[in-house]
Chains A and B, each alone.
Chain A
Amino acid sequence: MKIVVCVKHVPDTTATLEIAPNQKTIETEDLEWVMNPYDEYAVEEAVRLKERFGGEVTVLSLGDEEAENIVLTALAMGADRGIILQPEEPITDPYLIAKVLAGKLSEMEFDIVLFGKRSIDYNNHQVGTMVAELLGIPSVSSVNKLEILDGKVRARREIEGGAAEIVEVEMPVVITAEKDLNQPRYVSFRGLALARRKPIEYEDVEVEGEEGLEIEKLEYPPEKKPGRIVGEGPEAVPLLVKLLREEAKVI
């Protein structure tokens, strides 16, 4: 089975972010980058599919030099080779990102392409499904269980209110990963060192088209004032209820 998994680097979730003086970008110096959390599930699933059915896992990332570390992480998790597409300038428009990724994928052979359901930096929630549409292949998004039965993909996606849909599709297919698809494996330092022996290709790419979503301004959300400690223990409950009813008016 030929599997491709698309990964993106994002600021570490606990990082404090600073808006640059231009008010359009964030300061990236000293920032720690990690693999987008949803992409970890995608990589893990890709590696598990390979372990079960044989084949090869290619990791694909569009980004700058920071992308290398997360591609290495994916290689350490068990992927076989990496491709890093380098645009002249960073792009955040999800349609343009999808176009570049789809362009590369159209030159490749694959049965399944895995994505995260969304990236936690710009929260676009669309690149994987868009890539499928651009390639003209089916897709299932936000999948938390994946099975292959008689060459067909059976994917489970959760919808609201605790219900779920089981969708059946033929390969080639795009799947985007939800949390709980699996438990991503731990990567050791030794694993990372060994991963350096695996091949990573770099390719310059040209991005055609204008940004349809243009960031004009970044700002910090209004600071939420810490509230008040109403009291200690169950004795504080009557006052809390009174405040919720009379001051906050929410009950």
Chain B
Amino acid sequence: MGGILVFAEQRDGEFRRVAFEAVSEARRLKERIGGPVAALLIGHNVGGLTETLGRYGAEKLYVADHEFLARYSGEAYRNIFLDAIERMKPSMIVVGSTAMGRDLVPRIAAKLGVPAAMEVTEIIVEDGVVRVKRPIQMGKIIATYRLRSEPYIIVIRPNTFPVEELEEPVSPAVEVIDASKHIEGVRDRVVDFVAAEKKMMDLTEAPVIVSGGRGLGGPEPFKMLWELAELLGGTVGASRAAVDAGWISHDHQVGLTGKIVSPNLYIAVGISGQIQHKVGCINSKVIVAINKDPEAPIFEFADYGIVGDLFEVVPRLIEEIKKLKQSKS
């Protein structure tokens, strides 16, 4: 009884990084919550993954492994999650804010009759009282909430909590959950899976994002941004204007109706920096703006700016980064 249950999301045998953030955070909170840190692993052929979670401090693992679970099914995953909760009776449940996490959590929360705290950026436990901080109102306000109903369900924002590997990994005890009864009668089925055209690092987890806006003028200049992003080990983002113009797909959109990102480095190219874009990138550690208009609002919140034509600045930046890499190697 008690303890923290973490959902360790994986797809096709690869953990989401936020799963490690969640286990690490659970381990840091463990003393104050009391009880063990356990993780829930759902999928197909996931047996080889169990040791990995021990590196971050998972002492116990609930594992459901079945062919049907190779693809996400909200109802099947929910049933298994509820089974694990029933077995462990955790005080706290921690899940990463991902497409899967945000679909799964409201399902279990509704069944348990409690709300979930979504997009949490800080968890505070003092004298047995659990509070969380989360940005609300488009990041214009930070709210501190007190969680009143157990189990406390907390969904953490990726790239926000440090991942900590233990010096001496633990070897988690494994408890198998028989999936067969949980997939019976499941009504939502993934009938088709559309793989990405190009395997892409997700924006929410990328350490570097090079984002393009209307200033690019068309789809072609995005190639330049890809080159820069790849040199820096990151990926490409975009403003809504660029997405709506059809230059790049919506999964690249940063902002209010796109993704909220928090990379180490965010380079905004030809983006004016309207509030709806700002909310998506303001949590980046360092923001660089390249814009020909010195009055563009992006310069009000960028850490470094270059006023100039992106078609001159970006190629030069690519050149300089290449030089830097050569000098390093």
Contact = CB atoms under 8 A, between A and B. Distances in A.
Interface string A100-130: 0000000000000000001011111111111
Given A14-B275, A159-B99, A166-B193, A238 B320 contact: yes
B93 interface: no
Contact of B190 (A165, A219, A226, A248): A165
A126 B286 CA distance: 31
Given A37-B256, A125-B118, A229 B305 contact: yes
Query: Interface of chain B, helix or strand or loop or mixed?
Result: mixed
B198 A11 contact: no
Contacts of B257: 37-38, 179
Contacts of B107: 129-130, 133
B188 A169 contact: yes
Given A126-B109, A168-B189, A226 B301 contact: yes
B308 A216 contact: no
**In which size bucket is the chain A interface?**
35 or more
Contacts of A37: 256-257
B301 to A, nearest CB: 5
B305 to A, nearest CB: 5
Given A158-B250, A212-B147, A165 B187 contact: no
**In which size bucket is the chain B interface?**
35 or more
B178 interface: no
Contact of A240 (B99, B106, B304): B304
Interface in A117-150: 118, 120-131, 133-134, 138-142, 144
B162 to A, nearest CB: 16
A155 B223 CA distance: 31
Contacts of B118: 118, 123-126
Given A93-B115, A248-B286, A213 B106 contact: no
Contacts of A13: 138, 256, 275-276
B320 A121 contact: no
Interface in A141-178: 141-142, 144, 154, 156-170
A162 B299 contact: no
A210 interface: yes
Contacts of A251: 208, 232, 265, 321, 324
B85 interface: no
Contacts of A243: 304
Nearest to A229: B305
A248 B263 CA distance: 13
B191 A167 contact: yes
Contacts of B324: 241, 245, 251
B256 A141 contact: no
A66 interface: no
Contact of B306 (A122, A158, A233): A233
B316 interface: yes
B113 interface: yes
Contacts of B119: 123, 125
Interface in A186-207: none
A234 interface: yes
Interface stretch (B39-47, B51-59, B69-77, B164-172): B69-77
Given A227-B305, A244-B304, A180 B201 contact: no
A153 to B, nearest CB: 10
Interface of A: 11, 13-14, 16-17, 19, 26, 37-38, 93-96, 98, 118, 120-131, 133-134, 138-142, 144, 154, 156-170, 179-180, 210-221, 224, 226-234, 236-238, 240-241, 243-245, 248, 250-251
